[in-house]
């Protein structure tokens, strides 16, 4: 019940406050077509990202290996054909015997010792069946089935990673665009102040250095704007790659950058959830079971193997008259001494099993660190959102006061420009905090393995549209 609550809250926290409306339409970086919400971007990623395709091929390969292993339960049927011409006394006599062409004259010692050349066309149908091959086939089938389950878990994890990758890339584009909006607002304010300072300079109220400082400030903001435009292009390219789209795919983001809800603060539940349902950890546990089966297979090699065989043979010299025969039999194979090969295989399998178990323990520790890192990053970013929001109001009021006092000759140009920069920085910090919080929650959902739970329950490519839009 606790893990279920965590999954639900995670999904809500991840996208909780996103609503469907055009985002930042004033930014010049947005495309004019193809509206793209976060849910739509994720759906594209799940359909086209090469990581998903690679994992799907992994599942297909595992399924094929299972079929290969099951083939050991079936008999082997073969057909062989050959032609032979010989004067070898033994082979010559045996060939005529197989062709059922032996006569009393063939027992003449001269013919037996110096036979004429003889031709033989032979065809053999053979059938072999491993009645018990040291138990290898049965264990192979069990291992292949586990391998198929492991590949399925790897695919599930790949889907989670793609969702996180697309979500993070989407948030990066939103942040880059919001930076541009903040810079444009700062640039608009700086230009207005520049006009004021230029007018005051023309009237003799301020010195030329003030005018030059204002010009430098505007120029720096214009430089920042160019950098922001470049950052948007890079972020949009990364989002296209995450979605598996070509670089000429154009889009307009429609999901805004908003804080959402605060995550629950019981870190123990987050860690428990991660250790219980992480697909890649489950894949490691399956790998441990495969290693256990390998130990069993190595030990079963000490038992004998029992095989049945049979063949039907046709021999002819000129393809007109034929001789036929058949052979059936059973073989029991038991190695009395193999140079300690089996013992070494058991030792190797045991070592691999221990290695798999150690890898699981290492992964558990890594998952706990990953969860804690994402959890505390999310809490820190959440607190920063509130602080940055307050800072914006304070910086805005400070700029108003400084501007009035500068106009009255009470403050210097340095203080005015500093107030402008403080307002710009506070807005930047605010949107950066929202971005960092959403990214941290996304990573927390990925770390706990809860990022696609709702999607799997609905059995749809993406069933979170009701939360996203």
Q: What is the dihedral sign for C-alpha 71, 76, 81, 85?
A: positive
Residue 352: predicted pLDDT: 95
Per-residue pLDDT of the chain (469 residues; tens, 9 = 90+): 434 444 434 444 443 433 323 333 333 334 446 899 999 999 999 999 999 999 999 999 999 999 999 998 899 999 999 999 998 989 888 888 888 888 888 788 888 888 889 999 999 999 999 888 888 889 999 999 999 999 999 999 999 999 999 999 999 999 999 999 999 998 988 888 888 888 878 888 878 888 888 889 889 889 999 999 999 999 999 999 999 998 888 899 998 888 888 888 788 989 998 999 999 999 999 999 999 999 999 999 888 889 999 999 999 988 778 889 989 999 898 888 888 988 999 999 999 999 999 999 999 999 999 999 999 999 999 999 989 888 888 888 888 888 888 777 777 778 877 888 888 888 888 999 999 999 999 999 999 998 875 444 433 333 333 223 3
Asked if 254 and 35 touch (Cβ cutoff 8 Å), the reply is yes
Report CA-CA distances (Å) from 326 to 80, 98, 312, 315, 398.
14, 11, 4, 12, 104
Rounded to whole angstroms, the maximal C-alpha distance in the chain is 140
What's the CA gap between 374 and 370, in Å, rounded? 6
Residue 33: predicted pLDDT: 67
From start to end of 285-354, where are the E strands?
A: 305-316, 322-333
Which domains does the chain possess? 2-71+136-301+341-468 (1.20.1600.10), 76-134+303-333 (2.20.200.10)
pTM: 0.80
Contacts of 452 (CB under 8 A, 6+ apart): 156, 159, 160, 163
Cβ neighbourhood burial of 287 (10 Å; 0-12, 13-18, 19+): buried
Phi-psi domain of 336 (left: phi exceeds 0; alpha: psi -120 through 50; beta: other): alpha
């Amino acid at each position: 019940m606790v893990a279920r609550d965590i999954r639900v809250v995670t999904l809500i926290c991840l996208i909780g406050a996103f609503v469907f409306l055009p985002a930042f339409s004033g930014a010049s970086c947005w495309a004019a077509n193809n509206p793209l919400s976060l849910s739509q971007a994720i759906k594209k990623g799940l359909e086209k990202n090469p990581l998903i395709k690679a994992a799907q091929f992994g599942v297909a390969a595992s399924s094929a290996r299972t079929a290969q292993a099951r083939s050991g339960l079936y008999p082997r049927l073969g057909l062989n054909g050959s032609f032979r011409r010989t004067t070898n006394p033994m082979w010559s006599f045996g060939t005529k015997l197989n062709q059922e062409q032996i006569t009393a004259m063939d027992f003449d010692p001269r013919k037996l010792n110096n036979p004429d050349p003889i031709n033989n066309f032979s065809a053999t149908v053979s059938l072999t069946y491993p009645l018990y091959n040291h138990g290898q086939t049965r264990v192979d089938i069990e291992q292949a089935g586990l391998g198929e389950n492991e590949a399925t878990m790897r695919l599930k994890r790949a889907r989670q990673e793609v969702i996180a990758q697309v979500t993070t890339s989407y948030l990066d584009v939103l942040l880059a665009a919001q930076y541009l909006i903040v810079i444009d607002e700062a640039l608009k304010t700086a230009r207005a102040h520049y006009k004021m300072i230029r007018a005051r300079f023309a009237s003799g109220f301020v010195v030329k250095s003030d005018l030059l400082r204002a010009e430098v400030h505007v120029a720096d903001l214009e430089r920042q704007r160019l950098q922001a435009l470049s950052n948007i292009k890079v972020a949009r390219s990364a989002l296209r790659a995450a979605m598996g789209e070509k670089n000429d795919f154009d889009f307009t983001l429609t999901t805004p950058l908003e804080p959402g809800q605060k995550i629950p603060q019981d870190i123990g539940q987050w860690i428990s959830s991660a250790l219980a349902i992480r697909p890649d950890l489950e894949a490691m546990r399956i790998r441990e079971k495969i290693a256990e089966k390998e130990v069993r297979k190595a030990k079963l090699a000490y038992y004998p193997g029992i095989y049945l065989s049979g063949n039907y043979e046709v021999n002819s010299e000129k393809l007109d008259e034929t001789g036929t025969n058949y052979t059936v039999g059973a073989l029991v194979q038991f190695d009395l001494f193999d140079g300690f090969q089996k013992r070494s295989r058991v030792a190797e399998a045991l070592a691999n099993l221990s290695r798999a178990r150690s890898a699981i323990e290492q992964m558990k520790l890594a998952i706990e660190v990953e969860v804690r890192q994402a959890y505390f990053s999310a809490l820190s970013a959440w607190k920063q959102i509130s602080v940055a929001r307050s800072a914006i109001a304070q910086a805005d009021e400070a700029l108003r006061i400084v501007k009035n006092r500068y106009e009255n000759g009470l403050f210097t140009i340095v203080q005015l420009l500093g107030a402008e920069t403080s307002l710009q920085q506070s807005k930047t910090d605010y949107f950066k905090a929202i971005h960092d919080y959403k990214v941290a929650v996304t990573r927390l959902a990925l770390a706990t393995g809860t990022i696609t739970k709702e999607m799997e329950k609905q059995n749809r490519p993406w069933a979170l549209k009701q939360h996203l839009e």
